[in-house]
Amino acid sequence: MSGMIDKDINRIRQWTPVDEDLDGIDANVREVAVQTRKNFGFGVDYTRCEVWSDPEGVDVYADVPYLPDGNGSTAQGKAHCLDVYLPHDARLRGGCSLPVIVDIHGGGFVYGYKDLNRNFGTNLAAQGFVVFSLGYRLAPTVDFVGQLADVLQGLNWVKNHLADYPADPDAIFIAGDSAGATLAEYAISVLKSSEMANAFGFGGGTDVPVPDIDPKGAVFFSGLFDVDGLVHYEGDTSILPYLDAMGGTFFDSTVERVPADMLTARGLAASGLMPPTLLTTSSDDFLEHESLFFAGHLRRNGVVCEIYDLVPEKGLTLGHIFPVGQTWLPESLSVLQEIKRFVYGLIPPHFHTTT
């Protein structure tokens, strides 16, 4: 496997930085970061990309800058770009009728460009959505608050450019997988609460304005919802041990700013900030318990919540974020169809009345 990685490293750089964003990082931290990225998914994603493809009838606008330094040729620039995926027929018809899904990729906060989710995003668009897939900077070059700031800047761009696409400005949904779900849930809390925005240092006269977006729902895949379990972990290892190896400061500014109860899935569910939510996981997902517990907390607090916890057939596997990484599976197609049912069930039909 290491030989394959070395031989085809430039191909891997298409969906994740390897080391090109680590200039100026402490040598020991840099080594851990590179090794983590290699262990995290190079081999799996390299194999999967052989069967990734964009469905017919979907337009792709790739590497659109959402900040002035955004471009597709450097790691920093790539982080500050987004992709847009939408059905070509909807563009031809015009109007602003399609619901919007803003997708935030996962990767344990340390791995992946938005390109890692392109195959998922284009297949999602084929179901009848305008999809904005956001990039953001990765650890160890930035901490959690910095990543969330990038997401907010991407959402600002989306808000300001919705009229350029056949998108319904009143039907915006936020999606995320794995660590992207963590960023998504906190982005939602900031969008819905000035107190949370102020706690993170966003909005007002800051460099990170908070767009006027009221998410109609959330769609999470294999999410990591309980940050408290990471920031206060006292054992020798954690679910993301490399974040400690990278200096142990990734969540420090989050803890300093955000109320303690908002670091927990229980507290977020009880906050009244979460919109109707669709959760997907599987019985062989190492984060299955996170989705199960979060669903329970949401339902206990009266939040509309659906959860799909699939069990693979014997001898097969679904695993972590299977609808995102393995879109060709029949189970993944079923999830895409469920997303359409869930989202379209939360938005009213469009009527045009003449007098």
Residues known to be catalytic: 178
- Cβ neighbourhood burial of 348 (10 Å; 0-12, 13-18, 19+): exposed
Q: Is residue 201 within 8 Å of 179, Cβ to Cβ?
A: no
User: How far apart, in whole angstroms, are the C-alpha atoms of residue 260 and residue 338?
Assistant: 34
**Which residue, 205, 210, 197, 345, is CA-closest to 273?**
197
109: left (phi over 0), alpha (psi -120 to 50) or beta: left
Give the SS3 label for residue 269: helix
User: How far apart, in whole angstroms, are the C-alpha atoms of residue 100 and residue 75?
Assistant: 27
Q: Which two tokens stand for residue 90?
A: 């909807």
- Cβ neighbourhood burial of 289 (10 Å; 0-12, 13-18, 19+): exposed
User: How far apart, in whole angstroms, are the C-alpha atoms of residue 180 and residue 191?
Assistant: 16
Q: Is residue 9 within 8 Å of 18, Cβ to Cβ?
A: yes
User: How far apart, in whole angstroms, are the C-alpha atoms of residue 52 and residue 46?
Assistant: 10
Helix, strand, coil percentages (3-state) for the chain, rounded to 5, are: 45, 15, 40
**Which residue, 256, 309, 302, 306, is CA-closest to 277?**
306
